[in-house]
Chains A and B, each alone.
Chain A
Amino acid sequence: MARRAMTYGRGGPLVYLVALAVVALTLGPVLYGALGGFRSNEQLARDPAALPDPWLLRNYEGVLGNPDFWQYALNSTAIALITTAVAVLAGVMAAYPLARYQFRFREPLFLVFVLGLLFPAAVAIVPLFILVTRDLQLGNTWWGVALPQAAFALPTTVVILRPFLMALPKEVEEAAMIDGASRIGIFWRIALPLSMPGLVTVGVLAFVASWNAYLLPLLLLQGEMRTLPLGVADFSTEHSADTAGVLAFTTIAMIPALVLFLAMQRRIVGGLQGAVKG
């Protein structure tokens, strides 16, 4: 009641002006890409800042009619799905005893995962390349990229999920135990469903990270096994003269991660907040 009457903390015109500038700066490059895709190279050269006139669909049609694009999109999707499934399953399994068992090496074990946050993929990239291609014979395959990506996604997953699992009410588990459920049964039938919001958060994070990954796919995948980011980078160097085509390709490649993020936004933010506070 009282809060409503207060002017304190409200936005004045200046605040809205700043906000508007921020929106313009943030969305400007994205809109430039999306609009540029509707233009011809000749239009772009004549006046880079103008709106499309006339609006052309041929660049976007060209991308959507390009079989390579669909192959890259399929690869990206498959790799991201495998990464997400492996990272979330292994991650929640590891987080479970770290949250709900008492044992001597619990904190040291958790520290292993926290330290994992410090290992940049770049440090291990050359041996990782040799390991995957030579020792595991998984070079140029979906699994060869997905498994290392899942491993690098694990620390974040475990660190975010642990407080989530800790917060589950212990009464539910105790009741299940009295009813004769096993620890695995409790994990499967109680802990997993109850921690679903957390799982969605880490799942989306792992998916987007995998979808956006560049370095590891760059080294491990060639030809038609490549993912969308590699496809975008290649397309932009190979068709450097066709700016409008590059912008169309890039814009379409942005869409899946953006849509996924917008759909899951609340959950991601909630998960991150939990992780920061914890």
Chain B
Amino acid sequence: MTSQGAVTAADPGAAVTRRADARRVTGRSGRGTGRPGRDRGRKRLEILFFVAPALALMAIFVVYPVFSAARMSFYRWKGFGPMVDFVGLQNYVRVLADDVFTDAVVHNFVIVFASILVQLPLGLALALLLNRRIRGRGLLRTIIFVPYVLAEVIAGVVWFQLLQPRSGLLETMLTSVGFPVPEQGFLGTPDLALATVFVVLTWKYLGLAVLLFLAGLQGVPDELHEAAQLDGASWWQAQRRIAIPLLAPTIRTWCFLSMIGSLQLFDMVWILTGGGPANATTTMATYLVSQGTQRSNFGIAGAASVVLFLIGFALAVAYQFLVLRRDTEADT
């Protein structure tokens, strides 16, 4: 994401710090003498001034809690009194031996792969479609993005109503056309619940994929399409040989975002199934939240957090190394 290109003008610090107003930052009075040491000091203070609020927020509310979760994972702690009962890796052993957690990991990865196998082609197809000159294209793009704007919880509540066993609209419609409907409803049947959650997630997040792909397609010059057409290529050939390859970096970015999102899945599952039935839709996040807040097993929750973080981190590093590196290599 970093583009080294159009960076700053030749080191602006030296020119600026000579200005009197730099006093406001440094609190010092008197104009700069132009001594390089003092200029550098002022520049550092300015940078610090600009960056400090953000770094402080990140340190307090992101970094500290993550480390604190890691520390918690080595203790048996119910949330009362000081954290003294050090148990080493015992919490990790318990988490990794817990079928509910290992199933949760599997569920997260099912969602990761299903997203790439289903949402990617669907999103791509829709983006290519919406990139054609059809009437009402702008409106279509807006409409397809609507679910993405809704809160997962709010969308989840509506879908929960739609999916109600027997009385819900979906079952009523399916029954009326003779489609076999499970006794317990789609969310109540262990074998179908995760797939159902995935369908709802696809409805919710397909718009983001389409929007990103459309953005990428705008980078494909019209001339290429025209040239392809003059050469007698069909529309599909042009897409496959020109548009899709040029879209590859956007696709890789989307895959990355989608993977990270799939690993962190919480809201939709919590609303639709609460992780049930029979833990069939538990994710790592629902597992650690229920351990931490409902059972006060803070050590277990900490260990699950660390495992979730490590899996995400490993995946991100691997992806960067194996896939995204191609983008940077292609540039050089």
Chain A contact residues, CB within 8 Å of chain B? 2-3, 6, 8-11, 15-16, 18-19, 22-23, 25-27, 29-30, 32-33, 36, 44-45, 47-49, 86, 89-91, 93-94, 96-103, 107, 109-110, 112-114, 116-131, 147-148, 150-152, 154, 158-159, 163, 166-167, 170, 173-174, 177, 180-187, 208, 211-215, 219, 228-230, 232-233, 236, 243, 246-247, 250, 253-254, 257-258, 261-262, 265, 269, 272-273, 275-278
Contacts and interface: CB of A to CB of B under 8 A. Distances in A.
Contacts of A228: 151, 154
Interface stretch (B85-93, B109-117, B308-316): B308-316
B57 A258 contact: no
Contacts of A213: 151
Given A15-B132, A214-B270, A120 B160 contact: no
Contacts of B312: 118, 120
A212 B21 CA distance: 42
Interface string B128-165: 01111111100010111111011111110111111010
Contacts of A100: 8, 12
Nearest to A16: B134
A192 to B, nearest CB: 12
Nearest to A102: B11
A126 B50 contact: no
B10 to A, nearest CB: 8
A54 B29 CA distance: 76
Provide the main secondary structure of the chain B interface: helix
A127 to B, nearest CB: 4
Contacts of B134: 10-11, 15-16, 19
B60 A258 contact: no
Interface in B23-45: 24-25, 43-44
Contacts of A124: 61-62, 65-66, 68-69, 305
A158 B1 CA distance: 12
Given A10-B133, A215-B266, A233-B271, A277 B140 contact: no
B179 interface: no
Given A19-B140, A22-B126, A166-B6, A183 B22 contact: yes
B66 A126 contact: no
Contacts of A276: 212, 215-216, 250, 253
A47 B168 CA distance: 10
A181 B309 contact: no
A170 B129 contact: no
A243 B226 CA distance: 54
B197 interface: no
A36 B167 CA distance: 13
Contacts of B20: 180, 182
B151 A182 contact: no
Given A8-B229, A119-B62, A228-B154, 10 more contacts: A99-B8, A120-B264, A121-B264, A124-B62, A147-B57, A150-B57, A154-B57, A184-B24, A212-B154, A254-B151
